[in-house]
């Protein structure tokens, strides 16, 4: 990850973060994520359970997508500068989808004397269907 904090004056509203493109989502990834995260909800790993609950198939953990957005943000700024972030899970991420994570600067502000960059983030599939939206506040430094 970058070792240097964002420079407040070098960041502009409208700037795009370098996008993060994931490989097509596999069941293996869902199994690994279930074990690693501790979220063993069978909806994400057991197709029999998912079908019994009326879903056609297993689908991704919401927090897996949030973790991908974490990669997007920490490839742009050091993790220590990530103050707070939030996401809304608006659609299901299906097996086989190729997800792209994007971010854009929406505001520059100051809070309690600290310069902050507000970023809107999202994940979407290759057809542009949005799965998650959210925003993050990242600390910056003045030069």
> Do the beta carbons of residue 64 and residue 55 sit within 8 Å?
no
> Does 106 sit near another protein (CB under 8 A)?
no
> Does 3 sit near another protein (CB under 8 A)?
yes
> Does 5 sit near another protein (CB under 8 A)?
no
Residue 7: name the closest of 117, 131, 121 by CA: 117
Between 105 and 136, whose beta carbon lies closer to another protein? 136
Tell me the pairing of strands 6-7 and 130-141.
parallel
> Does 88 sit near another protein (CB under 8 A)?
yes
The helix/strand count (H/E) of the chain reads as 3, 6
Question: What x-and-dash track marks residues 22-61 binding another protein by CB under 8 A?
Answer: xx-----x--xx-xxxxxxx-x-----x--xxx------x
DSSP 76: T
Length of the chain: 143
Where does this chain bind another protein (CB under 8 A)? 1, 3, 22-23, 29, 32-33, 35-41, 43, 49, 52-54, 61-64, 66-68, 70-71, 73-74, 79-80, 82-91
């Amino acid at each position: 990850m970058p070792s240097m904090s964002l420079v407040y004056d070098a960041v502009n509203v409208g700037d795009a973060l370098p996008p993060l493109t994931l490989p097509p989502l596999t069941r293996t990834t869902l199994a690994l994520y279930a074990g690693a995260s501790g979220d063993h909800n069978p909806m994400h790993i057991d197709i029999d359970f998912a079908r019994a609950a009326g879903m056609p198939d297993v689908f991704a953990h919401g927090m897996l997508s949030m973790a991908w957005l974490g990669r997007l943000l920490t490839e742009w700024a050091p993790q220590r500068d990530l103050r707070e972030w939030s996401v809304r899970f608006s659609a299901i991420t299906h097996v086989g989808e190729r997800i792209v994570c994007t971010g854009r600067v929406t505001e520059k502000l100051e809070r309690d004397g600290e310069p902050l960059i507000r970023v809107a983030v999202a994940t979407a599939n290759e057809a542009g269907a949005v799965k998650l939206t959210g925003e993050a506040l990242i600390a910056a430094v003045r030069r």
